[in-house]
Amino acid sequence: MTQTSHKQMHLNLNLRGVGFHRSGWRHPLSRVEETITVEFHQELARLAEKAKFDAVFLADSPVMSEAGNSTQPLDKPFEPFVLLSAIAAATENIGLIGTVSTTYYDPFVVATRTASLDLLSGGRLGVNFVTTQGDRVAKNFGFDTHPDYSDRYTRAEEFLRLVLALWNNREPDNSRTVKHRGRYFALDRGLDIARSAQGRPLVVQAGASENGRGLAASYAEAVYTGSSTLANGQAFYRDVKSRAAANGRNPETIRILPGIVPFVGGTEAEALRLERELEDLSSQDIDTIAWLSSELETDLTNHDPSGPLPFDILPTEHTYRKGVSRLLRLVAWAREDDLSIEDLARKAFARLRNVHWTLAGTGEQIADQLQAWFQGGAADGFNILTPVNPIGLEGFVSEVVPILQRRGLFKSEYSGSTLRSNFGLEGGTK
């Protein structure tokens, strides 16, 4: 039942009603008016379940991104675990992964809510732990600025250990308490919610920085990453798996899932046309270099737009206040493709702050590429970020998934009803 699972790839649907392309919502077939309804999200999740996706994945940050910007659609109309609970009621097998902020949330609250949904969903929950980014979020929680990078990760590790202790220390009578007095948290209580069919939720992690990788190698059972070329995908994959092995873990027990943005068409030209259409819509009325300046926390407006990025004055991992993965991705992108400031600004902007691997083509072409990454040691599967909904998902499900299934690269039936069984990770509950 599980022996085939590591020969088959895993697919998560990164669920965002408005789609992952900045202008996806403007497409005539986008159904953007329904993206604030729970029914639309349930429909997309059911479609993914019909295609045997392993899980739906909800990224999150407790902030209204770009508030005051009239060109930004409402991309997080629901709190993730509330939405996942409604999706749990409308589905049976598909896993449910939601994101929590270790910087702004309370570990006891998180452990309780996630244990509850894990139980209600019959053991289908995964929790993606992130440190969150940006000063705007801090201002919702009484702070002026986002905490420093190393601080964030010290807190993240204490947070994660505490949530794991609360999840794990449950006896059949639910009476065990966790006593803890640490640098950030103090606790003397236990969960009064029973274990689910998969024991406890899966630990998922996102973040490509040094500390993020360290955390993933110690605790994560699945890692969501933003690799954009086969070479850097392979490097990331090797790095995390070898760190896990160095920690005494079996590297086979971590699933590495890069995000991809697929533009699927009946012909290659059709796929490219959709991509181009959306790029054109998005850069019309925006100063993309000013946007990139803010992304890189460096004023680029005084530099020659056709020249290279001023690499020596860019922030480092330790001084950058947003997500370090994004800094690394943008810098790598500029270097590898030898892009000018204006080209990087336009391309990065069009892809919605999105540093994932974008590919356009027929179902066959996209399946070929996924297979190359999967068999080339860059991925155990993928997080699918559809650019427009529902057509982006419909296209992927009808054109790409059947080809992967025919090639034996993706399952045609669920082997169980928990997220742990979908990911073929039944062995390690602790």
Partner 1 sequence: MSVLEHDVLLNLDLRPLPVKGGAAPDVRNLVTSVALAQDSGFASIILPGLSSSEEGAAPAGFEATTAASFLASRFKRIGFITPVLLPEEHPYLAARQLASIDHVTHGWAGWLLSTARRSVPLDRFEEAVTVVSGLWDGWKEGALRFDRKAGTPVDPALVNQLDHSGRYYKVQGPISSSRPPQEQLPLFVDVGNSPVEEEFAAFYADVAIINAETVKEAVQQALRLRNLASTDNRSGGPLRILATVTPVSGSSSQVARDELLASTGGKIPQGRIVLTDTSEQIVSVLQELLSSKVIDGFNVSLPVETELLSQFTSLVLPELRRSRQPVTIDLQSLRHSYGLGKAQRPPVLQTSNEVAAE
> How much helix, strand and coil, in percent to the nearest 5, is found in the chain?
45, 15, 45
Whole-angstrom distance, CA of residue 203 vs CA of residue 126: 6
- Closest separation in Å from C-beta 106 to partner 1: 6
Tokens for 261? 């943005």
Decide whether 175 or 375 has the Cβ nearer to partner 1.
175
Decide whether 188 or 413 has the Cβ nearer to partner 1.
188
Whole-angstrom distance, CA of residue 328 vs CA of residue 391: 31
Decide whether 201 or 207 has the Cβ nearer to partner 1.
201
- Closest separation in Å from C-beta 399 to partner 1: 25
- Closest separation in Å from C-beta 40 to partner 1: 11
Taken in order 341, 345, 346, 351, the sign of the CA dihedral is: positive
Decide whether 3 or 69 has the Cβ nearer to partner 1.
69
Count of C-beta atoms within a 10 Å radius of residue 310: 15
In a 13 Å sphere around the CA of 309, the CA atoms on its Cβ side amount to 26
Decide whether 64 or 409 has the Cβ nearer to partner 1.
64
- Closest separation in Å from C-beta 156 to partner 1: 18
SS3 128: strand
DSSP state of 37: S
SS3 46: helix
User: Looking at this protein, which amino acid is placed at residue 108?
Assistant: F
Decide whether 194 or 235 has the Cβ nearer to partner 1.
194
* Contacts of range 149-152, beta carbons closer than 8 Å, 24 or more positions apart: 149/209, 149/211, 149/317, 149/318, 149/320, 149/324, 150/211, 150/318, 152/102, 152/103
- Closest separation in Å from C-beta 274 to partner 1: 15
Decide whether 62 or 305 has the Cβ nearer to partner 1.
62
- Closest separation in Å from C-beta 194 to partner 1: 6
Query: What one-character-per-residue DSSP string does 138-202 give?
Result: HTTTT-SSPPPHHHHHHHHHHHHHHHHHHHH---TT----EEEE-SS-EEEE---S--BTTBSPE
Decide whether 140 or 250 has the Cβ nearer to partner 1.
140
Tokens for 376? 């080339």
Binding site for partner 1 (CB under 8 A): 18, 23, 25-26, 28, 30, 32-33, 36-38, 42, 62-65, 67-79, 81-83, 85-86, 88-90, 104-106, 108-109, 112-113, 115-117, 119-121, 136, 139-142, 174, 188-189, 192-194, 281, 284-285
Alpha carbon 157 to chain centroid distance? Answer: 19
Torsion of CA 224, 225, 229, 233, to 10 degrees: -80
Tokens for 421? 């069984």
Decide whether 136 or 303 has the Cβ nearer to partner 1.
136
- Closest separation in Å from C-beta 384 to partner 1: 23
- Closest separation in Å from C-beta 373 to partner 1: 33
Decide whether 176 or 347 has the Cβ nearer to partner 1.
176
DSSP state of 5: G
- Closest separation in Å from C-beta 117 to partner 1: 4
- Closest separation in Å from C-beta 255 to partner 1: 25
